[in-house]
Amino acid sequence: TLMKYDEEFNPADFVFTGLGREYALAFAERGASVVVNDLGADTKGGGKSSAAADKVVEEIRAKGGKAVANYDSVEDGEKVIQSILCGSFNIHCILDLFHNVPMGNNNLIHRVHLRGSFSVTRAAWNHMKNQAFGRIIMTTSAAGIYGNFGQANYSAAKLGLLGLANTLAIEGLRYNIRCNTIAPVAGSRLTETVMTPELVASLKPEYIAPMVLWLCHEQCQENGALFEVLRWERSQGSIVRQKNQPMTPEAVRDQWDKICDFTDATKPKSVQESLLSIVSVLSGLDSGGGVGATPTAAAALASGVNPAEAVGQKLPPSTFTFTPAQCILYALGVGMSTKDPDHLRFLYEGHEDFSCLPTFGVIPSQAAMMDGGLSSIPGLNIDFTQVLHGEQYLELYKPLPTSGTLTSEATVADVLDKGSGAVILLDVKTFSGDQLICFNQFSVFVVGAGGFGGRRTSDNAKAAVPPPKRAPDVVAIDSTTRDQAALYRLSGDWNPLHIDPSFAAMGGFKAPILHGLCSFGFAARHVLKHFAANDPSRFKAIKVRFVKPVMPGQSLQTEMWKEGNRIHLQCKVKETDAVVLAGAYVDLHGASEASLGNLTQHGALQSELVFAEIGRRIKDSGSELVRKVNAVFAWEITKDSRSAAEWTMDLKNGSGSLHRGPAGGKADVTITVSDEDFMEVVQGRLNPQKAFFSGKLKVRGNIMLSQKLEVILKDHAKL
């Protein structure tokens, strides 16, 4: 192989853990003798231990390689180099890689990053000159190249290294000493602020080591260059590692011309822009531009899913403790407002009917996954910048409490190959103690991660259902605010996609988008208001597919169709008329199980008053389509009423009867009526008694008649 170092040459290297460890292992594997230098300082720059260097040395030796540890400070470069030479090592290359110095320590940063590199290189310089060979790699940082907020000292030190390297490159040329600089994009504090841990993890040190090995090889004549493992003025680059293939120096060598081809070069202007194009290469978004990868290969690079490994895996159980404050914050997050008096019961903990919105049921279970559990599942090597919420199903088994501690257990139910993406189905059960409170199915769409040859459908999936082909029964329009996502995320979905413009850009969006579950919450409460009088106990289940993103500030238009206890719905963005939620429905519990409150009337009962009262309450509730009204009538049985109660009446279409009950008793009455007839009655166009006797209003249950009602009934009977 190309990088076989010969035994006599004994190149030496100064490294520690992370990138350094990776370099050390890679060099040793290729036959180099490696000196591992690490002062062993703790993260604050204090303390001293040999553990870090020794560990790497042991690792190399265990694999049959040659390595020794050195614990001298890099500020004392002479000492470091002397100890290497005493150990009968020659110096082939120096890798200055001091990147774990605490960010805040100005003095230490300069001492180690700049003076340390200078000191060690100066000490090695004459030896390299004498042997007419040397390779030096300085490690700088994107923070130095572009500048980065709050990192003035670090940026200065790091770009100082580039100046040093550029001069050494010139001065070393005639001695066959080559000096290059790299700015590796790997797990660092810098990248952690703008990239997800998963993405950082996908830019592994082992993908950088082959580049470094090649730059140190005697055949490599590159000099005075800055490689960002990509370059300052950036070439289109080349993908040198294919799916499931290791990255090798030979692959770097073979792609070298392409890596260094500056036709169509770009000049990223900021750290974010720099990272963005790397991510775009990784995700295959830029596949047409000569990066040499098919979209699938690039996507697989960033977003590997392996159903065989993932399906059936369980996430660690997670607990979620909440108070009324979280219920209120959630209600505000899905657009509730005190300007609508109906909303007060969800916004004010002192309200007599204070309740938690049913769709809050997604929050504890999502928290279970946002804790990072999803990324820990084997077979789900997901690039989180490409994750979109695909669908959601939620079923409540009882109304949610307004405070408490809930436990959620999540399982990967399936992983589907949808061609343009992978769909991960996650079933989550949420318990209060040992009582099952709700079930969620999250469908997570990972854009660009399809095409792995998996199944397209799943028996485990809760299906979306298209709405009836008629005009909607009810349409509700509501505006989201510019800060809707900023508010909604406080309920627990911290995905930067919804707030961070650079993260959104990595996902291909011009600006942060609204949480899918936020529009879901809007739609669900529209149904609850128009079909269930805002009564959370009526809510049973909801299913939604997210078909297009919503931008904060857009208006949502929810179109609803009633089919029995199922309310079909779809949501459009009013400004664009684009459908954003489709195949959606809310299942309600039958109205007979709910109530508009008790109508209690003592003494004489006038049916007009009763119906007028029912009508008023229905109007107040905002619902126009109530089929069944459950009312409890209670009145005293008087002496006179007895004769009235003697008679039993079968209604037309015979769903109920009137007959006598015990004196002083109560009667449960269900009045059933078609939507149209009921509205006629409520709006006063149809006399309730007429409706009653013609069978349009059906009374179910036992009714005890008062004398007054008897009279009215008799009158109407005469009619």
Ligand X SMILES: CCCCCCC[C@@H](O)CC(=O)SCCNC(=O)CCNC(=O)[C@H](O)C(C)(C)COP(=O)(O)OP(=O)(O)OC[C@H]1O[C@@H](n2cnc3c(N)ncnc32)[C@H](O)[C@@H]1OP(=O)(O)O
By CB under 6 A, name the binding residues for ligand X: 366, 369-370, 374, 387-391, 418-421, 423, 442-445, 447, 456, 493, 495, 497, 513, 515-516, 545-549
Q: Two tokens at 108?
A: 């230490």
Between residues 23 and 384, which has the closer beta carbon with respect to ligand X?
384
Q: Least distance (Å) from ligand X to the CB of residue 416? A: 8
**CA-based nearest residue to 465, from 405, 542, 555:** 542
Helix, strand, or coil here: 547? coil
Residue 504 and residue 512: Cα distance in Å, rounded? 5
Residue 654 and residue 670: Cα distance in Å, rounded? 14
Residue 273 and residue 281: Cα distance in Å, rounded? 13
* Alpha carbon separation from 193 to 261, 268, 385, 439, 500 (Å, rounded): 31, 18, 14, 34, 11
Between residues 503 and 531, which has the closer beta carbon with respect to ligand X?
503
Between residues 218 and 371, which has the closer beta carbon with respect to ligand X?
371
Beta strand pairing call for 93-96 and 134-139? parallel
Q: Two tokens at 365?
A: 């279970």
Q: Least distance (Å) from ligand X to the CB of residue 554? A: 12
Between residues 390 and 615, which has the closer beta carbon with respect to ligand X?
390
Q: Two tokens at 132?
A: 């007419």
Q: Least distance (Å) from ligand X to the CB of residue 501? A: 15
Residue 286 and residue 539: Cα distance in Å, rounded? 45
Catalytic status, residue 154: yes
Residue 240 and residue 238: Cα distance in Å, rounded? 6
**CA-based nearest residue to 473, from 628, 624, 684:** 624
Between residues 60 and 410, which has the closer beta carbon with respect to ligand X?
410
Q: Least distance (Å) from ligand X to the CB of residue 595? A: 36
Between residues 431 and 509, which has the closer beta carbon with respect to ligand X?
509
Q: Least distance (Å) from ligand X to the CB of residue 388? A: 4
- Out of 146, 154, 207, 393, the active site residue is 154
Q: Least distance (Å) from ligand X to the CB of residue 461? A: 9
Q: Which residues pair with 70 in a beta bridge?
A: 37
Assign 3-class secondary structure to 477-536.
EEECCCCHHHHHHHHCCCCHHHCCHHHHHHCCCCCCCCCHHHHHHHHHHHHHHHHHCCCH
Q: Least distance (Å) from ligand X to the CB of residue 591? A: 32
Residue 119 CB neighbours (<10 A) = 22
User: How many CA within 13 A on the CB side of residue 423?
Assistant: 25
Q: Least distance (Å) from ligand X to the CB of residue 530? A: 24
Between residues 99 and 462, which has the closer beta carbon with respect to ligand X?
462
Residue 592 and residue 574: Cα distance in Å, rounded? 35
Non-local (6+) Cβ contacts of 101 within 8 A are: 45, 108, 109, 112, 113
Between residues 548 and 716, which has the closer beta carbon with respect to ligand X?
548
Catalytic residues: 154
